[in-house]
Amino acid sequence: MDYHDSPEEAAFRREVRDFVSREAPEEYRVHHRPPVDAGGSGDDTLQEWRRRVASKGWLAAHWPKAYGGASLPVIQQFILKEEFALQRVIHPGNRGVEMVGPTIIMHGSDTQKAAMLPPILRGEHVYCQGFSEPGAGSDLASLQLRATRDGDDYVLNGQKIWTSNATTCNQMFLLARSDPEAPKHRGISYFVTPVDVPGLSIRPIPDMAGGADLCETFFDNVRIPAANRIGDENRGWYVAMTTLDFERSGIAGAVGIFLGVRDLIARLPKERMTLARSHRLADFLIAASVARLMAYHVADLQNRGRVPNHEASMVKLFSSELMRRIDTEAVSMFGLQGALWKGNGGREVRDGRYARALSGSLPAVIAGGTSEVQRGIIATRGLGLPRG
Ligand SMILES: Cc1cc2nc3c(=O)[nH]c(=O)nc-3n(C[C@H](O)[C@H](O)[C@H](O)COP(=O)(O)OP(=O)(O)OC[C@H]3O[C@@H](n4cnc5c(N)ncnc54)[C@H](O)[C@@H]3O)c2cc1C
């Protein structure tokens, strides 16, 4: 496998690098922001950045040109994300651009494409994901939110949980059970709906980091027009698989880890240097390089027209577990002060960023499929082992 850029790829890389260093808002270049924005279309800086990136055709670089994308080859999409991450600048894509849009392109009708895609590109429709339920997380197909057909509508009753950013998004894509008699994977339909509809209520769940991005969402006779069902009735599971395939890409995360380790090494207080710690940091640097190569491997597979499966699980598992170990090390590296949050009279280290990062990397091994589930995928689909 050759990971060097072809002359054409190198030229594209330079173009992206110049664009980001010239056009990115100052605050994004100084403060690293997460690679997928939380939602909230009310952020003016983000909206302006989204507009600039969209004007280059790079907001939805993977969408076909016919729908406002750039039809970029996979390897150039990869370079694009990598260059943003290397400059620690957020790519202003969100769940609409990354997950729902491609799903609508693949499974939606022409009418749905015309109505639903442009507001995503303009940043007007910002989506949250209503998949998980109290009794359906890893075993998602057990979901119970009920969708009953009533004339031109479906009527939804039940509950979702862990809906990230539901309070700041204005749209939701969700799965609901439209045929309770069918085998569980075959009785599910896929819908999109505005969040602000009668009967839909949201309750934020406070987390240990003091945030409340995760939410419970309750459906009490919520009406969703049948025109908002994506794909055929009861085929929603297969539509959802498209969405989940688009959830795992990995490169921005892998580059972030690499930069994070280098940064940590540069800032290690001399008095806290021990032989054991220096060896752990050496291991992290090696592991971060491996994470990056694994992400390249996934892009390379896609570039050759193959659908990464257990390979994407390997990236997710390896990167999220590595990040958790690095963030734990970072907090302990600065002693008790490393564990302090912002607002501790200046005793906290670098605005409490290490404590904050650790509180973010702990749930990352659960979100998007837990580490145990990823290991199960690698064992069965990667190694061909029987299910335990
Ligand atoms: C930060 C964060 C953000 C999230 N955002 C969203 C969102 O926006 N929308 C959304 O729909 N969901 C979201 N989720 C939910 C997430 O997808 C689920 O938490 C995840 O799929 C696990 O499901 P669960 O919490 O029900 O745990 P469970 O599935 O009940 O798992 C409990 C434990 O059992 C283990 N386990 C389960 N099945 C197996 C198995 N087959 N083999 C071995 N071990 C197993 C798990 O690894 C875990 O340790 C988010 C979660 C987090 C933490």
Report the separation in Å between the CA atom of 294 and the middle of ligand 1, taken as the mean of its atom positions: 24
Structure tokens at 72: 């970029």
Structure tokens at 374: 């990823």
Q: What is the pLDDT along the chain (388 residues), one digit of tens a residue?
A: 667 899 999 999 999 999 999 999 887 765 554 434 444 445 788 888 888 998 898 999 989 999 999 999 888 988 998 899 888 888 888 899 989 999 999 999 999 999 999 999 988 999 999 999 999 999 999 999 999 999 999 999 999 999 999 999 999 999 999 999 999 999 999 999 999 999 999 999 998 777 788 999 999 999 999 999 999 999 999 999 877 766 655 666 777 888 888 888 888 888 888 999 999 999 999 999 999 889 888 888 888 888 788 998 999 999 999 999 999 999 999 988 999 998 889 999 988 888 988 988 899 999 989 999 999 999 999 999 998 7
Report the separation in Å between the CA atom of 141 and the middle of ligand 1, taken as the mean of its atom positions: 13
CATH H superfamily, domain 128-234: Butyryl-CoA Dehydrogenase, subunit A, domain 2 (2.40.110.10)
Q: Which atom of ligand 1 is nearest to the CA of 370?
A: 47
Please tell me the distance from the alpha carbon of residue 32 to that of residue 280, in angstroms, as a whole number: 24
* CATH 1.10.540.10, applies to 7-93: yes
Q: Whose CA is nearest to atom 24 of ligand 1?
A: 137
- How is the chain split into domains, by residue range? 7-93, 128-234, 248-382
pTM score, two decimals?
A: 0.92
Please tell me the distance from the alpha carbon of residue 253 to that of residue 326, in angstroms, as a whole number: 13
Ligand 1: which of 126, 188, 370 to mutate, judged by most atoms within 8 Å of the beta carbon?
370
Q: Whose CA is nearest to atom 20 of ligand 1?
A: 137
Please tell me the distance from the alpha carbon of residue 114 to that of residue 132, in angstroms, as a whole number: 28
Q: Which atom of ligand 1 is nearest to the CA of 135?
A: 26
pLDDT for 268: 86
Is the CB of 129 within 6 Å of ligand 1?
A: yes
pLDDT for 90: 84
Fold of 248-382: Butyryl-CoA Dehydrogenase, subunit A; domain 3 (1.20.140)
Is the CB of 373 within 6 Å of ligand 1?
A: yes
SS (H, E, C) the chain: CCCCCCHHHHHHHHHHHHHHHHHCCHHHHHCCCCCCCCCCCCCHHHHHHHHHHHHCCCCCCCCCHHHCCCCCCHHHHHHHHHHHHHCCCCCCCCHHHHHHHHHHHHHCCHHHHHHHHHHHHCCCCCEEEECCECCECCCHHHCCCEEEEECCEEEEEEEECCCCCCCCCCEEEEEEECCCCCCHHHCEEEEEEECCCCCEEEEECCCCCCCCCCEEEEEEEEEEEHHHEECCCCEHHHHHHHHHHHHCCCHHHHHHHHHHHHHHHHHCCHHHCCHHHHHHHHHHHHHHHHHHHHHHHHHHHHHCCCCCCHHHHHHHHHHHHHHHHHHHHHHHHCHHHHHCCCCCCCCCCHHHHHHHHHHHHHHHCCCCCCHHHHHHHHHHHHCCCCCC
C-alpha gyration radius of the chain: 22
pLDDT for 41: 47
Cβ(145)–Cβ(174) under 8 Å? yes
Is the CB of 367 within 6 Å of ligand 1?
A: yes
Report the separation in Å between the CA atom of 358 and the middle of ligand 1, taken as the mean of its atom positions: 19
Q: Which atom of ligand 1 is nearest to the CA of 134?
A: 26
Q: In this structure, what are the phi and psi dihedrals at residue 229, rounded to the nearest 5 degrees?
A: -85, 130
Report the separation in Å between the CA atom of 129 and the middle of ligand 1, taken as the mean of its atom positions: 14
Report the separation in Å between the CA atom of 334 and the middle of ligand 1, taken as the mean of its atom positions: 32
Is the CB of 34 within 6 Å of ligand 1?
A: no
Ligand 1: which of 133, 217, 366 to mutate, judged by most atoms within 8 Å of the beta carbon?
366
Is the CB of 379 within 6 Å of ligand 1?
A: no
